[in-house]
Amino acid sequence: MTTYIIRRLFMAIIVLIIVTLIVFFVMQLLPGDPLVIFLGQQAGMGSISQEQLDQLYVRYGLDKPLMVQYWNWVSGIVRGDMGESIYYHEDVGKLLLERFPVTLDLGIKSFILYNVLGITMGMVVALRRGKWIDTFATVLSYIGVSIPVFWLGLLMIYFFGLRLDWFPIAGYTLPTEDLWKNLHQSFLPVICLSLMGWAVIARQTRSSVLEVITQDYIRTAWSKGLTERAIVIKHILKNSLIPVITLMGIGLGLMFGGQVFIEQVFAIPGVGRLLVGSVFAQDYQVVQSATLTIATIVILVNLIVDISYGWLDPRIRYG
Amino acid sequence: MLTEKEVNTTSINEALPRVSEWKRFQRVFFQRKLVLFGLIILALLVITAIFAPLLAPYDPNQISMKESLQQPSWDHLLGTDLQGRDTLSRLIYGSRTALMVGFGSVLFAGVIGITLGLVAGYFGGVTNMIIMRIMDALMGFPMILLALVISAVLGSGIHNVIIALSVATLPGYARVMHGLTLTLRENDYILAERAMGAGDIRTMLRHILPNGLPPMIVLITLQLGALILAEAGLSFLGFGIRPPDAAWGAMVADGRRYLLLYPLLSLAPGIAIMLVVFAFNLVGDGLRDALDPRLRGLL
């Protein structure tokens, strides 16, 4: 097990290094000089002298060779310094830190919601195969993976916000400030974010449970006279969740993608919204750090998934 | 009296009627109503895209301020947008954008991804290590995020959207092909082929690739749906194709401001996106079950 973990960890570190390289060099390909674009937005280029421009280059470290810039960026991140946003004139780490709790709050709520709903529905549907609920779940899971999340958001806003006026259509309050308001405001966004994960998890759980219930040990459990409850929980659920766990990591990536849209649609000040705004403003310090942060989280979660997978299923460890 | 030998041959022939692979495929694929439904939608989509100029009642880019923001009527079945452009005509032309981006990216990413996966899986060792770790790194980004950043770098326009989405979906093909190559490589017929002196390229192209193709076809069909969804997302955020050109995602975004009074502006293109993605998923799943049911859960 230890060698398995060390091997996985080593791979994850290599992948992370490649991720930093991709992010950095892709950003270097941006057309135009970010500093010039920014100054153009501010006051017009005429008002600034070449000398001042040079000073700004030095200040943001843009005068150094690429490899040095890359090294400064990466070593800065390791020290917790992500540089300064050219557009917001603020520390990138601080910008991200302000918005991260928002994204995380929505993310955790949706993660819990879609896993609970997905696993429960997948189980029920597999055990009641062919009944109306099976058809309902199949259709729902197709809709879940086909519906554009931003459009679903607008649909929710239209019906539950504008028409029925049950929920606010925009804004966000931290749960620490006002928990009730937070739950009220995040209800629609969380539902939108969960639908795809719900569909994917339910489908996987269904097919996984259907496979497990044909196994010999389940027949043995029945013939031992165990109660249905014990068989479902202890034998079927536990064994069929193994393949579902891998999907949890993938679901997380999908959800981060979805947050980019949902934060835009519901005007929520999270990392996704910051990212889209920064891409438009060509504020590459923010874009590269935000992208890197999200990629790191996804890779770390997948690492945890891989390790727990190996722990649950010994065949993987030695494979 | 039949001799023993004759009895055997007849019974074998009866027990195993020769069913061609194609017939079996047809039976499983066309038997399901949902798959047929998906196929019909896709056929309609392709027809719409090809004959857009004939089907569209108006020029999709014709601005007419007099007819700004009209409710649906017999003149404009789905109403008009702020610039007085006919929503139905823009919807019809938008199918071209969706299909071009979908097929363009699948072709581009599919060819490169499959080649990378094949080479990595076949040669193993350092080649495998380098290629697959880069693919893992690309997979670390949520697909839409990577596409967003790349299309920001490249700028708007349909070609750039295709490139951005191709890079973002590349690792998916590479991973699946890599996995397939690893299993296919171990088959005896590959060993036999090698023993007869076949080179690496011949073995890869003539034996491994064709055997890996069925799962790849399934993956490509499912990816088409995902790509159309992603393209809609990019154009919703304002990164897709250049405006006046019609794109469903951009139409949803444009209609947002008039949601309460003119909901169709946003809702109609959204339904189009959903229906098309839905159809690709149905057909993809149908293909998977018909080509290789063992892939259930994997693709």
Average pLDDT over residues B206-235: 87
Contact: B149, A154; criterion CB under 8 Å: no
Q: Which residue has the higher pLDDT, B25 or A20?
A: A20
Using one digit for the tens of pLDDT, what is the confidence trace for B246-270?
888 888 888 888 877 878 888 888 9
Smallest Cβ distance to A26: which of B153, B155, B253? B153
Q: Is residue B82 over pLDDT 50?
A: yes
Contact: A243, B297; criterion CB under 8 Å: yes
Mutate which of B129, B134, B149, B278 to disrupt the A interface (most A C-beta within 10 Å)? B149
Tokens of B219: 């993956």
Q: What pLDDT score was predicted for residue A48?
A: 64
Using one digit for the tens of pLDDT, what is the confidence trace for B104-121?
999 999 999 999 999 998
Q: What pLDDT score was predicted for residue B113?
A: 93
Q: What pLDDT score was predicted for residue B8?
A: 46
Q: Give B12's pLDDT tier (boundaries 50, 70, 90).
A: very low
Q: Is residue B181 over pLDDT 80?
A: yes
Chain A / chain B CB contacts < 8 angstroms = 139
Q: Is A267 on the interface with B (CB under 8 A)?
A: no
Q: Which residue has the higher pLDDT, A50 or B280?
A: B280
Contact: B239, A155; criterion CB under 8 Å: no
Q: What pLDDT score was predicted for residue B260?
A: 78
Q: What pLDDT score was predicted for residue B276?
A: 93
Using one digit for the tens of pLDDT, what is the confidence trace for A42-56?
555 556 677 777 777
- Which chain B residues are within 8 Å of A11, Cβ to Cβ? 133, 136
Q: What pLDDT score was predicted for residue B286?
A: 84
Q: Which residue of A has its CA nearest to B146?
A: A291
Contact: A279, B152; criterion CB under 8 Å: yes
Contact: A294, B278; criterion CB under 8 Å: no
* Predicted TM-score (pTM) above 0.80: yes
Instruction: Give the count of alpha carbons within 13 A of A86, CB side only.
Output: 27
Closest by alpha carbon to B277, among B50, B10, B38? B38
Q: What pLDDT score was predicted for residue B13?
A: 47
Distances (CA, A) of A29 to A26, A67, A85, B153, B249: 5, 14, 18, 6, 26
- Which chain A residues are within 8 Å of B170, Cβ to Cβ? none
Using one digit for the tens of pLDDT, what is the confidence trace for B95-104?
988 899 999 9
Contact: B273, A15; criterion CB under 8 Å: no
Q: Give B19's pLDDT tier (boundaries 50, 70, 90).
A: low
- Which chain B residues are within 8 Å of A146, Cβ to Cβ? 225, 229, 274-275, 277-278, 281
Distances (CA, A) of A229 to A116, A123, A129, B286: 18, 12, 18, 34
Q: Give A201's pLDDT tier (boundaries 50, 70, 90).
A: confident
Nearest chain B CA: its distance from A50 CA (Å):
26
Average pLDDT over residues B74-98: 80
Q: Which residue has the higher pLDDT, B17 or B177?
A: B177
pLDDT > 90 fraction of chain B, expressed in percent and rounded: 16
What is the rounded CA–CA span in Å between residue A210 and residue A206?
6
Average pLDDT across chain B, whole number: 81
Q: Which residue has the higher pLDDT, B27 or A14?
A: A14
Nearest chain B CA: its distance from A225 CA (Å):
31
Q: Is residue A18 over pLDDT 80?
A: yes
- Among A141-145, B59-63, B160-164, B224-228, which is the least confidently predicted range? B59-63
Q: What pLDDT score was predicted for residue A31?
A: 62
Long-range contacts of range B27-36, CB-CB < 8 Å, 24 or more positions apart? Answer: B28/B289, B28/B290, B29/B286, B29/B287, B29/B289, B29/B290, B32/B286, B34/B282, B34/B286, B35/B282, B35/B283, B35/B285, B35/B286
Average pLDDT over residues A203-232: 84
Q: Is A38 on the interface with B (CB under 8 A)?
A: no
Task: Give residues 276 to 295 of A whose Cβ lies within 8 Å of B.
Answer: 276, 279-280, 282, 287, 291, 294-295
Q: Is residue B150 over pLDDT 90?
A: no
Q: Give B6's pLDDT tier (boundaries 50, 70, 90).
A: very low
Contact: B282, A207; criterion CB under 8 Å: no
The answer for residues whose C-beta is within 8 angstroms of residue B241's C-beta and 6 or more apart is B97, B156, B157, B158, B161, B235, B247, B250
Q: What pLDDT score was predicted for residue A310?
A: 75
Instruction: Give the count of alpha carbons within 13 A of B4, CB side only.
Output: 0
- Which chain A residues are within 8 Å of B238, Cβ to Cβ? 280
Closest by alpha carbon to A96, among A274, A267, A258? A274
Task: Give residues 7 to 66 of B whose Cβ lies within 8 Å of A.
Answer: none
Using one digit for the tens of pLDDT, what is the confidence trace for A83-140?
777 777 788 888 888 888 888 888 889 988 988 998 888 888 888 777 788 888 888 8
Nearest chain B CA: its distance from A190 CA (Å):
18
- Among A217-221, B26-30, B39-43, B264-268, which is the least confidently predicted range? B26-30
- Among B80-84, B220-224, B261-265, which is the least confidently predicted range? B80-84
Contact: B145, A145; criterion CB under 8 Å: no
Residue type (1 letter), A124: V
- Among A234-243, A260-269, A292-301, B229-238, which is the least confidently predicted range? A234-243
Distance from first CA to last CA of chain B, Å, rounded?
54
